[in-house]
Amino acid sequence: MEPGDDTAGRWLREHGVPEVVRRLRGGGDALPGVSGTRWAGLVARAARAEPRRDLEAARAAGVRFVCPGDGEWPAQLDDLGDARPVGLWVRGGPSLRIWALRSVAVVGARACTEYGAHMAATLAAGLAERGWVVVSGGAYGVDGAAHRGALGAGGATVAVLACGLDRPYPRGHTELIARIAEQGLVVGELPPGDHPTPSRFVLRNRVIAALTRGTVVVEAAHRSGSLVTARAAQRLGRFTMGVPGPATSGLSAGVHELLRGEAALVTDSAEVVELVGDMGELAPARRGPVLPRDLLEPSARRVLAALPAGRPAPPGEIALDAGTTHDEAIARLYELRSLGYVERHGDVWKLTRQAMISLRDGHGRC
């Protein structure tokens, strides 16, 4: 079934995965809500499916499969209802669920101007420096600039692709996507070997919108795909923001249309954080309770233990003391940031006040 198929999603919800698979692959009665022709097409596709081969190809590419009910599943994707992903293929070390807790989407035109690329990179770098994860689609233009801005600031970024993760698209971004997988995460709905199509790009955007707390659009024409992401964010109750451009620029016309509606105008990362960081129970984690240290993964505990109690430290020093790599330390620091243990100040990290209090009052345990 294709991503975003809410009819198939309803089948899974009402009948369960085993029964749907039995009907599709075992010659059972057709499920309700589709024509005979479409049912026959689904049965033909199911007959060609090779899930064991897909899992083997994924493992060979360093990719894992995460589905609803798993500990790494981001619960906010459930807001998509029956159109939520059946599962996500994930490449990279960090926890997708934890990283998504403090994430912002930065999207926009593929054929962006120098202004658009500059604004996307600057916004992403600023968000990364404030401990936020930058999510985008890995495409040319604004997407690529946002990913590079976050990476260049030593930050966290997630690329959501519309194809199998073993065949990154666009091909010109193969090295960039590989770098994202080293320092961050690459995710997608399609199994290994699947190629992108126009409809899959559109449906991919709903995942970007649902995964994040808000979406920032940097340059978009009236018919830009990034507007699909923004409108999906609005439907889901997420913040929608736009970066204004010249009134004479067709590439900013779609953004200006959003700003005339319910979208908020933003010009830098501080204004973005002012919006997405003020959402009640989803407010910045440093204001909430610090979770018990024992719930952390061992690698995250080692990184937390490596932070000096009385001063900030750069990621390289933390990685050395934790006995891990620079990229692994960055990944775990952003997880710890989402949980309220640490905060970033420029190029250094330090324990939060709540973490220090817990260390002092909890006999050495956060």
Label each residue of the chain as H, E or C: CCCCCHHHHHHHHHHCHHHHHHHHHCCCCCCCCCCHHHHHHHHHHHHHCCHHHHHHHHHHCCEEEECCCCCCCCHHHHHHHHHCCCCEEEECCCCHHHHHCCEEEEEECCCCCHHHHHHHHHHHHHHHHCCCEEEECCCCCHHHHHHHHHHHCCCCEEEEECCCCCCCCCHHHHHHHHHHHHHCEEEECCCCCCCCCHHHHHHHHHHHHHHCCEEEEECCCCCCHHHHHHHHHHHCCCEEEEECCCCCCHHHHHHHHHHHCCCEECCCHHHHHHHHCCCHHHCCHHHCCCCCHHHCCHHHHHHHHHCCCCCCECHHHHHHHHCCCHHHHHHHHHHHHHHCCEEEECCEEEECHHHHHHHHHCCCCC
**Structure confidence at residue 365 (pLDDT):** 39
pLDDT in the model for residue 267: 93
Could you read off the pLDDT of 96-139 as tens digits, one per residue?
Answer: 999 999 999 999 999 999 999 999 999 999 999 999 999 999 99
> What integer pLDDT is reported at residue 162 of this predicted model?
95
pLDDT in tens, 307-331: 998 899 999 999 999 999 999 999 9
pTM for this entry: 0.84
pLDDT of 344 > 60? The answer is: yes
| Mean pLDDT of the 236-243 span | 95
Tens of pLDDT along 134-174? Answer: 999 999 999 999 999 999 999 999 999 999 998 888 999 99
253 pLDDT exceeds 90?
yes
How sure is the predictor about 361, in pLDDT bands with cuts at 50, 70 and 90?
low
Q: What is the pLDDT averaged over residues 18-24?
A: 93
pLDDT band at residue 290, thresholds of 50, 70 and 90?
Answer: very low
The whole-number average pLDDT for the span 52-56 is: 94
Lowest mean pLDDT among 223-232, 240-249, 332-341, 347-356: 347-356
For residue 355, name the pLDDT band (cuts at 50, 70, 90).
Answer: confident
